[in-house]
Amino acid sequence: MEQSRRIPVGPILSAVALLAVPLVLPDWMKFIVTLALSKFLAVLAVALFLRAGMVTFGHAMFYAVGAYVVGFSNKLFAYHGILVLLVIGALVGAGVAALIGLIMARYREVFFAMLNLAFSMMLYGAFLKLYWVTGGTDGLGTGLPTFLGYTPARDNLRDVQYYATLVVAGLVIYGVYRFLASPLGYYLKARADNEIRIEYSGESVQRVIYATYVLSGALAAMGGVLAAFTVGHIVPEYAFWIQSGDFVFVAILGGFESVAGPLVGAIAFEFIRTYASKYFPNEWQMVLGIIMLVIILFRPGGIWAIYESLVAKVRRPKGEVAHG
């Protein structure tokens, strides 16, 4: 109702660009974009909580849960169907989140952030120590993915995998878009504003957080399934706190007020990291740090906010759109 009926040029161009990736980019870049699309799902999970004014430094645990679902499936059943594993990964991720969430929904602020970190580090420790199951630091292989029974040849595997990941990311974008337009999506923002009002409307803030937590667990785990197949190998570092921190970093880099922000952020992050570590092999974290500093100081809304203000500048001369 409130939205303008202009042709959404930006989204259409980005969709075309994403569809064209395998045709124009070299293999190593396809790999980077595929990985970025996979991690994007975990970043979205973190972004949901940022909207609610909450930070989690432990969502890599769900990402790792998804990845290890793939690893165990390979090890125990030699099964590699990516769609089925996505569903199982999402269910296991949601299940673990449903369990941990019972505790997590009671906490806010720094306690929420650090308790998530604590749980993720316990999981990291378990993956590390239970080496007869998890392979310890050696990790687990994933095997080559199959797509609805179709096994691509090695030379077009990257492309098929890319498109599969893109389709999943597209469905997730649609799903999260619906989520953000739903009562629960709005209640996340409302929580950041005023918990008292929520309780005095007869609703439970804990329920809001819990439901979001379960969904975020499923999302991040799906990201883990995709990332595991992209890399082909899983190590306990998937659950490490630095990985969790990266997700938060990317969400802020891209901007967490929209669905597009985390997507842009995830792709930008993988490229920044790749180039920064190529040109500044010893100082690449510093490059990331400087970028974060600039974003927070000048554009706290992230890259997406920069894009939006540019679009607004381009469109303004054509006359303001009336409100309401």
Partner 1 sequence: MADAAPIVQTLDLTKSFGMVTAADRINVQIQGGELVGIVGANGSGKTTFINIITGYLKPDRGRVLLMGKDRTGSPPRAIVKLGIARSFQIPQLYTSLSVLENLLLSLAARAGEATTFWRPLYRSSWMEDGLQTLERFGMKAYAHRPVNELPEGGRKLLDIALSFALKPQLLLLDEPTSGVSIEDKFQVMDTLMKVVEETRLTTVFVEHDMEVVQRYGRRVLAFDNGRVIADGTPEAVLADPEVRKAVLGRV
- What is the contact surface with partner 1 in residues (CB under 8 A)? 1-2, 178-179, 181-187, 189-190, 192-194, 196-204, 207-208, 211, 215, 323-324
CA atoms of 266 and 42, how far apart (whole Å): 10
Contact indicator for 39, 247 with CB cutoff of 8 Å: yes
Question: Do residues 164 and 82 make contact, with C-beta atoms less than 8 angstroms apart?
Answer: yes
Count CA atoms closer than 13 A to 250's CA, side-chain side: 34
Cite the DSSP H helix spans in 204-323: 205-231, 241-254, 260-279, 284-298, 302-315
Q: Indicate the residue type of 307.
A: Y
Dihedral (CA of 124, 128, 130, 132) sign? positive
Residues 73 and 70: their CA atoms lie apart, in Å, by 5
